[in-house]
Each structure stands twice: as C-alpha cells, then as structure tokens.
Structure 1
Amino acid sequence: MKNHIDYNKLCPIIQGQVNSSNNNILPVIISYKSDKKIKEGKISSLSNKLNYNLPIVNGCACDMCIQSIIEITEDPDVEFISYDSKVFAVMDVARSVVGADLITNTKYTGKNITVAIIDTGISPHADLVYPTNRIVGFKDFVNKETRAYDDNGHGTHCAGILAGNGYSSKGKYKGIAPEANILSVKVLDESGNGNTSDILSTVQWIIENREVYKTRIINFSLGAIAQYRERRDPLVKAANRAIDNNFIVVAAVGNSGPMRNTILSPATSRYVISVGALDDGRTVETNDDSIAEFSSRG
C-alpha cells in the first residue's frame, strides 16, 4: 500500500525531493509535538545516521531517505520535518561566493530601490527596520491584516538574504542589497500555500501601485508546476506583463531537482531572471561549488 504523504509536515525543500521520484538520503530535523516524547527507537530504525538530540525543538537531527521520511510523516506525534540546511545561515560566505562583496564600497547597495517580495509576509526584523525602517509597505491578501507579520518565516528569510543590513550581527551577516527597501506582499498562508489567482491579483496590484512605493523589482520565491506552454501559463503571463511595465522580475526555479524539466512557473518564462540553488560547500572558494541536488533543472 502506498504511504499517505502529509505535506503540511514537510518543509518546501523536502516536499520538492518527495515529488522528484528518487530516494535520496537527506539531513533532516524531526520535531515532535510539545506534549509528546521523541521516539528514538522508531527514528533509529528508519535513519541512516542519528546525529544528535535537539531537546530545544523536542526533536532530533538525522540522515534519512525519502521513503523513511514519508513513512514517519504518518506518525501523528510528529509535528514537522525540515531540511537540515547549512547554506543560508552563513551570509558572510554566500555574499562573497556570488560576488556581492565586489560592490560593497560602491554606490550600488539598493538604496532608494524598492523590491516587492511576494511570499508569506515579513516580520519587522532588526536587520530590516534599524536604524531606518526599510519595510515601506505591507499588503496582506490572505488575512487582510495591516501590520507587517510573517506566520511562516519564508518571506522574512528571503527579505534577509535580499536586503538585511547586518544590524543584529554588527555587519557580519548582510544581505545582497543592504540598503534596499522592501514592499512585502503576503499571498501565501502560514503553510506557505496559495492560489494562482491570488498571485495574479498580487502582481496586478503591484503594477497599479508602482509609484506609491517606487517599486522596481518583483521577487517570486515561489512557483507552481508548469502545466502549460509558456505563452499560456497564467503565472508566466503575469510576470511578463510586469516586465512589459518595466519591472525586473526574479523567480526561484524550485526545489524539485535533480530531475530534468522540473523548473516551476513563472521561472519558466524566457524573460524572467530564474535562480537556482548553489551548494557553496561553506567556503568562499568557488572550485568546490556545485548545483544543489534539490535545485530544479531545465
């Protein structure tokens, strides 16, 4: 009998791996509900390597194949399984790898440029609001709130990579454009899900209000399975319409690799700047870099 997959218990990276029809072994963090005990015996029987316990999240870290991850999602005591990522926490390395340090001492810091981030919202993190609040706008298409918030974390994560100024770390962990302004548009719910129609309305709203926030760039760290030819795909059409209105549009290719033809819409548009994931080996040198296995391919 085929296992039932509870996607609500899986982070987006693992969701992409589950959908890629392989059985890769992934480093994961398994968290149990706060009132439940960690089932170390069960995890040990399914895991290739139990790394250590993490009582702070009532869970543990281990290496586990996709099939075992799917099996353990059926346990009602398991709250969430996330990818044990080593990439995003070290912006001092990532900045150098992508060449951002080359422009650190130039005028190109994103100042006076507003980037619309279509995502799960944004939390007013110190790296975005001190010494000056650079969250210039917040629009909530999900819960209609007026205050800036993020009930998932993904949108804030993306905003930090893009425009965090390193205030909390005294400049060590800066984003790529540390003086850019952010227009946060919440269109994904607390589980990171949303409808294509909502995103289409969002893009239309951004275009119509471009002068209010001085928006120049739209960032899609989201996507949908490309089910249409490019010219018929609704998300691609929306992205292309924004480009026709002189926006720069950037979109994530998705986490459904390493199979071919797995790039998500609207990153499939020939006019969008499509971005995949890099494994930088946690070093500044590029000779050990490679495309992350989970990154979608064309």
Structure 2
Amino acid sequence: MEKSSQLSVISKQLSVNSYQLSVIGYWLLVIGYYLGIIQKWIRNKVLGSVCYLLFTVYCSLFTATQKWIRNKVLGSVCYLLFTVYCSLFTATQKWIRNKVLGSVCYLLFTVYCSLFTATQKWIRNKVLGSVCYLLFTVYCSLFTANCSAQGKYLITFKDKNNSPYSVSKPLEFLSQRSVNRRIKQKIAVNTRDLPVNPSYLTEITKAGGKIWFTSRWMNAALVQTTEANLTNILKLSFVKGLEINGTIDDPRTRTGRQKSKFEALETEAFNYGLAKTQNEMIGVNTIHDLGLQGQGMMIGVLDAGFNNANNIPALKAIFDEKRIVGTYDFVKKETSVYEDDGHGTAVLSCMGAYTEGSMIGSAPKASYLLLRSEDAPSEYIIEEANWLFAAEYADSVGVDLINSSLGYTTFDDAKTDHTYADLNGNKTIAARAADWAAAVGIVCVISAGNEGNGAWKYIGTPADADSVIAVGAVTATKTLASFSSLGIPTDKRIKPDLMAMGQSVAVVAPTSSVTTSSGTSFSSPILCGMLACYWQAYPNLTAIEVIDKARKSGSQYDNPDNKFGYGIPNLSKSIQILNTQNELETWLEVFPNPTKNEITIRLRNFTGKTYELNLTDIAGRRYLSETMDSQIKTISLDKISSGMYFLRVGNDEKNSLIKLWKE
C-alpha cells in the first residue's frame, strides 16, 4: 500500500513536470512563430540546443511512464521522429523559414499544446493520441522536406584562368559554321567565347551543387543546391557571387502537358491569299521571286515550345529535307521540344511554312534550330537565364539569325521585377545575352511585346538591347496595332526598331490548321525570315550592316518615333540601296552591263558546282530561271523590254544580286 502511494506521488510529480515543460515548449513555439515571420526562426544555436534538450527530456518522461499514447512502440517512434527533427533543426538553424509552412507548423503545435494543457493527462485517450501523432508526423515530414529543399542559383566566376580551352583552338567548343561566321565578319574569337573552367564546376559539384547549364559569355553556371551548400560554394576562391540575389527558379513542380498562355485572338478557315498581305507589306514576295527563300541560312528560334510541329503538313518540307538542324529544351533539360507549348509552332510557321495555295512563310527554305527557353504557364527570371543559355547554344551551332518572340518585364516573384530604368539595353540578363549574340555576328530579331494596352505599356527585354531589331506590330492597313508595345519615353534610343504586320496574321496552329492570330510574336518572325533571305543575297554583309540596311529601308527612317520606330521596311528599297554601291564581285563577272541583246556570265574560280540564275524586274516578275554548271554562260535578252532588272547568281555557298540594265 505504501509502495503504491509512493508510485502515485511520483506519477503526479511527473505529470506536473511534463505539464510545465509543455507550457514552456508552447511559449517557445509562440516566440518562434514571431521570429519566423522575420525569417529568423530561432537561428541561435543556444536556443536551438535548449529546445532540443526540452524535447528529449519531455519524450523520455512520457516513454518512462508508458503513457505516451500508452504504447511503447509508438512512443519510441515518436521519440525518434523528435530526435531526428531537433537534430536537423539544431544543425541547420533554419527552423522552417518559409512563412506559410511556419504558420502551418505553428498551428499544429498550438492545437497540440492546447489539448495537452486542457487535459493535463498528456493524451491518455487513444483517439486523441492518434490524432496528435498524425499531426506530429505530418509536421516533421514537412520540416524535413523544407530542410532539404533546393533552389537554382546563377553563380558567376571571377576569371577563366588555367582553362584547358584556348582561343587558338575554337573548334573544341564552337562548330565550324560558328567559326566561319566570325571569320566572314572579321570577328575574332576571344576569352568571352571560352567555356567556363571545368575545374570550377568540379569543385562546385564536390560542394554539393548540381550543374544545370553554364554560360561562356557571362562566365557563370546555373547551380541547383541547398542554402547551406550555397554558403560554402560562395566561399570558394574562384566564385565572384550571385548574378541574382536568391533563387531564380519557380519552386513549383509541374507534370503533364502545359497549356499555352499565348492564345490566338482569332481563328478562322484559311483561304488562298490570306498570308499575302503580311508578306507583301515588307517585300517578301519580291525577294522570293528572285529565287531567295532562305537557302543556306540558319535561324535559331527561341520560344516556349513547338507542340506537334514535327507532324504538321505545312512544315513537312522542313523535316523531310532535314532542315531542322537541332532541338533542345532548356526548361526540362532534354532534347525534345514537341510536347509542350504550341506558341513556337505558330512562330516557326510564319517563317518556315510551305503549302502551295495555302500558306508560305517568309523563309520557307531556311534551316532551323528549335530551342525552348520559356516556361509558358509561369514567369520567373530563370527564363532570362535560359534565354542566355539558348543563345549561346545557337551561337555554337552556327546560326545566322535568332528570332525570339519572348519578352520579360514583371515576374511571378515580385522581387525580381524589372523597372523601366532596368530596360536601358545593357542591364538585364536577356539584353546582355542578345548584345553578346550580336557581337559574334548574329542578327537578333525580337518581338517588342504586347503591352500597348496593358499597365506596363512599353517594350520588354531583350527587345531593349542596343544591337537587336525590336519588332512592333501594325494592322493590314499599316496602322499601329493597339497592343503593340511602345518605346520607353525616358529612353532616347529608337525602340521599337521596325514594324511588320502583327494583327490577324496567318499562322499554323499545333492542330495543323491555318488560322489567324495577333501579336508582335508573329510580326517578329515574318520580318526575321525576310532578313534571312535578304542576307542570303549579300552574304558578305556583317550582322550590324544587315540591321543598319533594314533600318534605313524603314518607311519613316528620317523621322523615327517610339511608336513605329523607323517604320515598315521596304525590301525593294533595300535592294536598291545595296546596288547603288556598285561593289565589284571578286568571284563573278557579268558583261556587258548595260546591254542591248545578251549578257555573258563568267565565274572566275569555277569549282564544278551548279549555280542558279534568276532574272526579275523591280516588281518581282521573273523572266529567267536557269542553272549554270560551267565557267562561262551567255544568255539572250532579246525578248525582254528595256529597263532595270535584277540578276541573281548563287548557290548555298555564294550569292550575288546584280543590277542589270537593258537598253
């Protein structure tokens, strides 16, 4: 009896002690909650150790009295969970820095502790005990998940010292085509072209980072890691810092097919001639009649996805003729780009579609590199980093032009939003990437944006970059499309640069139907395709010269503004500008010029390859279409009237367009 009484006293003392401990724990959690709001959540090791000690004693007491839900096994499991939980907490000192998760955990503890305080029996009821056990299990699982969460960081490096790569051996990191583009434009390979030092990447991997992509131009790497590992990575001697302060990715995980945020504004059946206006407005028909349809030119398309593009009849010729030179998805880090968003499919069709009597794009015989950099359902600044990686990839493959119908202003994570002042052409990741692409001889054509009616109103990035062509949109009657983004008034530069038809233009949807849609997303590729054909005729021009000629051909070049820029380019005018220079071709002679009856064409360094000959007038009417597979060929002009004509001589390697006079 006496022994029983002593046990009763001990039991009551334990109950009182456990009650007091729980009250202390409760108030510690209340304090912790408010600390969590300012993202500190008990970062102090001493306080963490105290909490850990309280929990250990607390759990031990209940395990000893066999009242921890009256089950020793379950008590041991709970004790283990708490021990692991507190150890993690003490080690990381982060204690759920996320406000939402912190609030949920706080609520769980409040309910738990309130129940305990009210009963003072520490959940002797099995049902209540089970509920609390479940709450703790969920809580601990959430905490563990949060502790191991990883983000993506754009980490920059101080130098490229001791690199195994050399500017004297560019073919180790660039294609021959990419090197040839530089040589043709007299652009030297420099240290910015060198890849990131592989030893730096090795050290980051050892420190717990996962390398997603690297940037030669920025000398940076996109690294996925925890905050704890990031702290150590940033201490490495070769690390300069973070390009963006904090994670740059969308923390959500998506599965399944994504829905496009680029919806067609109109849809209707396509009849012959619906695409006529958008092409004729900038002279695409004229240059096509010269036999220039993009042969030998390569266009990189940076977009949000090319859903079903590989199965669409209007794009069949591109695939059948193996003119898709490559694909890559920088969002998912995989090669296929045909399963996700369909925005890029419509964009590609503006250039590459070819269905006689239905729709012909502005560069139907060009080659294309399809790159996905945009994650359509969301807007996070990692997409600008993806744009950088994609542009570098396009450079290494050897593209001549880049079309990107993408633009960035504000984001789902407001702390990374751009301001108008940021869009000065040199600050954002995307703008710098576009300028770096231009510096290696690529013509970048970028949609100005569709914010004309929106709160932002002005162009986005990379359309703000200095060395790109930002393309706005006009209607079929050449008036400003209301949605077309304007140039920023405080920026004295001319933006947008040029205009093309962007309202109710013909595009091919992922469903294979030819429809109409609106946006600068489509005025941009129409113009880009035209420039590819234009450059095909004059392959010795540099990228900067192509951009300059295009601007000078604008309908309001002499009086530009921040609505239309330099206006709508006129291809026929551009051709005349070039030919008034009377540049002597070193590989070709055409004589006599002017002529009365015939001309003789002589190839100075004939190598046995076949050349195409096309003779057209200023209106684009074709009078001659032949091939030439000898060094000299004479052509009769008896049946054509007096006047000015254009003679194109060329193949996939060389092209020349010569102004010819018939007397």
**Structure 2 residue corresponding to 1:110, chosen from 273, 277, 294:** 294
Contact 2:373 2:390 in 1 (8 A): no
Secondary structure of 2:400's counterpart equals strand
Determine which structure has the larger strand proportion and give its number: 1
SS at match of 1:142: coil
Residues 109, 178 of structure 1: 8 Å contact kept: yes
1:238-277 deviations in Å (ceiling 9; x for gaps) = 1101101111101101001057961111111232101011
The aligned counterpart of 2:283 is 99
Whole-angstrom CA distance in 2 between matches of 1:84 and 1:121: 19
Kindly indicate whether residue 384 of structure 2 is the aligned counterpart of residue 203 of structure 1. Answer: no
Letter paired with 2:354: N
Q: Tell me whether 1:142 sits opposite 2:368 in the alignment.
A: no
Q: Name 1:128's counterpart in structure 2.
A: 315
* Inter-partner Cα distance in structure 1 for 2:430 and 2:269: 27
Distance 1:116 1:150, change over 3 A: farther
Contact 1:165 1:178 in 2 (8 A): yes
Equivalent residue letter for 2:348: A
> Where does 1:274-289 land on structure 2 (aligned, <5 Å)?
274-280=470-476, 288-289=477-478
Note the alpha carbon deviations across 1:150-196, whole angstroms, 9 max, x for none. Answer: 52211010000022122xxx2431111111111111112353x4543
How well do the aligned residues superpose, as a CA RMSD in angstroms?
2.8
In the TM superposition, residue 103 of structure 1 has moved relative to its aligned partner by: 0.9
Equivalent position of 1:285 in the other structure: none
Query: Residues 114 and 183 of structure 1 are in contact (CA less than 8 Å); yes or no, is this contact kept in structure 2?
Result: yes
| Alpha-carbon distance in 2 for matches of 1:279, 1:138 | 33
Q: Is the 8 A contact 1:151 1:189 kept in 2?
A: no
Question: 2:426 aligned to 216, 227, 231, which one?
Answer: 231
Residue in 1 that maps onto 2:6: none
| Matched residues, number | 208
Superposed counterparts of 1:109-258, under 5 Å: 109-122=293-306, 123-124=309-310, 125-130=312-317, 131-166=320-355, 170-191=356-377, 193-208=378-393, 210-212=395-397, 214-225=398-409, 227=419, 228=422, 229-258=424-453
**Could you say which structure has the higher helix fraction?**
2
8 A contact 2:330–2:390 mirrored in 1: no
Q: 2:266 maps to which residue? A: 85
Q: CA deviation at 1:205?
A: 4.5
Unaligned runs of 5+ in 2: 1-259, 410-417, 488-663
Q: Which residue identity does 2:368 align to in structure 1?
A: I
Classify 1:232/1:203 alpha carbon distance in 2 versus 1 (closer, same or farther; 3 Å).
Answer: closer
Cα distance in 1 for partners of 2:440, 2:470 equals: 19
- What letter matches 2:438 in structure 1? I
d(CA) in 2 for partners of 1:88 and 1:216? 34
- 1:28-82 CA-partner distances (Å, limit 9, x unpaired): xxxxxxxxxxxxxxxxxxxxxxxxxxxxxxxxxxxxxxxxxxxxxxxxxxx9994
Q: Provide the rounded CA distance (Å) in 1 between the counterparts of 2:267 and 2:376.
A: 24
Q: CA deviation at 1:198?
A: 3.8
Write out the 4+ residue segments of structure 1 that deviate beyond 4 Å after TM superposition: 79-83, 86-89, 258-261
Is this contact kept in 2: 1:258–1:297, CA < 8 A?
no
Residue 326 of structure 2: SS of its match in structure 1? strand
Query: What amino acid maps onto 2:452 in structure 1?
Result: G
In structure 2, distance between residues paired with 1:150 and 1:231: 34
Change (3 A) 1:185 1:195: farther
TM, length-normalised to structure 1: 0.62
Is contact 2:435–2:466 with CA below 8 Å preserved after alignment? no
**Hey, what's the Cα distance between the residues in 2 that align with 1:263 and 1:178?**
29
Give, in angstroms, the shift of residue 113 of structure 1: 1.3
| Mapped partners of 1:95, 1:196: distance in 2 | 34
User: Partner amino acid for 2:266?
Assistant: S
**Cα 1:109–1:235 shift into 2, 3 Å:** same
The change in CA–CA distance for 1:271 and 1:209 in structure 2 (over 3 A counts) is closer
Contact 1:187 1:194 in 2 (8 A): no
- Given that 1:121 and 1:149 are in contact with CA atoms closer than 8 Å, whether structure 2 keeps it comes out as yes
Unaligned runs of 5+ in 1: 1-78, 281-287
Task: Give the TM-score taking structure 2 as reference length.
Answer: 0.29
1:119-153 Cα deviation digits (max 9, x unpaired): 11222133333242322211011223433405221
